[in-house]
C-alpha cells in the first residue's frame, strides 16, 4: 500500500502530542537516545505503519544506501531466526487472526531486538518513519479497556498516580482508523516483514 497523504497529518498530531507529554513529564520520562528498552520484543503493526516503514526504506536507499542494506540484512537475519515460529503467513508476513495465533503471538520473539535497532549506535535507523506504537511508548497512554494508564517501566519511577495522569498522551487513534478504513487494511504484520517489502 502506498503511504496515504493524510499520514503526514497523523504523524504531525502524534509528534506534537508526544512533545507536549514529554514536556509535562520532565525528568519522570527516562526515554533518551541509546535507551533501548522499547526496542526489544515484537509487536503488531498495521498497514499504515508498514507503508510508512517502506517509505522510510526508500528514503534511506537514497540518503544512505549502506545503512539501508545493513537494516535489510538485520531484518533478513531476524526472520531467519524467528519466521519458522511466526503465528501467521510467513510468505506474506500477515499475522494470523485465530485465537490460537493470537495466543502464540503473546510469546513470539519477546526478547528479540527490533531489526531497526542499530546495534552499534543503540539508535533506530528508521526513527522518523517508526510505527505508532513506537511513538507512544514511554509517556502514559490509556490502556485499550480504558481502565488504566500504561507507561514504560523505566519511566515515572516513584511518581504518584496523579503525576502520571498529568502526563497522559492522547494519540489520534480515530484519525489512524479513518485513514486505514479509507485505504484498506490487509491485516497486521511486524517490522521485520515490513522492512523487506
pLDDT in tens, 154-182: 999 999 999 999 999 988 989 999 999 98
End-to-end CA distance of the chain: 10
In a domain, 2, yes or no: no
**Residue 44: pLDDT band by 50, 70, 90 thresholds?**
very high
What's the pLDDT at 183? 84
**Residue 2: pLDDT band by 50, 70, 90 thresholds?**
confident
In a domain, 82, yes or no: yes
Mean pLDDT of 42-46: 95
Model confidence at 147: pLDDT above 80? no
* 2, 47, 97, 174 from 180: Cα distances, Å: 12, 7, 18, 10
Other CB atoms within a 10 A radius of the CB of residue 118 amount to 19
Model confidence at 134: pLDDT above 90? yes
Is there a contact between 29 and 168 (Cβ–Cβ < 8 Å)?
A: no
In a domain, 72, yes or no: yes
In a domain, 85, yes or no: yes
* Beta bridge partners of residue 45, listed in sequence order: 189
What's the pLDDT at 146? 62
In a domain, 1, yes or no: no
What's the pLDDT at 144? 65
What's the pLDDT at 106? 92
Chain centroid offset of residue 158 CA: 27
Model confidence at 45: pLDDT above 70? yes
Please tell me the pTM assigned to this model.
0.92
What's the pLDDT at 138? 87
Q: Where are the beta strands (DSSP E) in 42-96?
A: 88-89, 94-95
In a domain, 36, yes or no: yes
State how far the Cα of 46 lies from the Cα of 178, in Å rounded to an integer.
13
What's the pLDDT at 143? 72
User: Which residues contact residue 114 at a Cβ distance below 8 angstroms, ignoring those fewer than 6 apart?
Assistant: 39, 40, 42, 124, 191
Q: How many domains does the chain have?
A: 1
In a domain, 172, yes or no: yes
What's the pLDDT at 12? 95
* 24, 71, 119, 152 from 191: Cα distances, Å: 30, 11, 16, 20
Q: Which three cell numbers stand for residue 111?
A: 526478547
Domain range for 138 is 7-195
In a domain, 104, yes or no: yes
Amino acid at each position: 500500500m502506498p503511504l496515504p497523504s493524510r499520514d503526514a497529518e497523523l504523524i504531525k498530531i502524534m509528534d506534537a502530542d508526544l512533545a507536549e507529554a514529554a514536556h509535562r513529564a520532565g525528568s519522570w520520562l527516562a526515554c533518551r537516545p541509546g535507551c533501548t528498552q522499547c526496542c526489544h520484543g515484537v509487536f503488531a503493526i498495521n498497514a499504515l505503519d508498514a507503508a510508512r516503514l517502506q517509505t522510510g526504506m526508500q528514503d534511506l536507499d537514497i540518503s544512505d544506501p549502506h545503512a539501508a542494506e545493513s537494516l535489510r540484512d538485520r531484518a533478513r537475519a531476524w526472520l531467519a531466526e524467528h519466521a519458522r515460529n511466526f503465528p501467521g503467513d510467513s510468505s506474506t508476513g500477515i499475522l494470523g487472526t485465530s485465537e490460537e495465533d493470537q495466543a502464540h503471538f503473546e510469546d513470539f520473539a519477546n526478547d528479540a531486538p527490533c531489526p531497526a535497532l542499530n546495534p552499534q549506535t543503540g539508535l533506530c535507523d528508521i526513527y522518523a518513519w517508526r510505527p505508532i506504537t513506537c511513538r507512544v511508548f514511554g509517556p502514559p497512554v490509556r490502556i485499550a479497556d480504558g481502565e488504566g494508564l500504561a507507561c514504560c517501566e523505566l519511566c515515572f519511577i516513584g511518581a504518584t498516580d496523579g503525576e502520571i495522569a498529568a502526563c497522559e498522551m492522547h494519540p489520534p487513534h480515530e484519525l489512524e482508523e479513518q485513514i486505514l478504513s479509507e485505504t484498506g487494511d490487509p491485516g497486521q504484520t511486524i517490522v521485520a516483514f515490513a522492512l523487506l517489502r
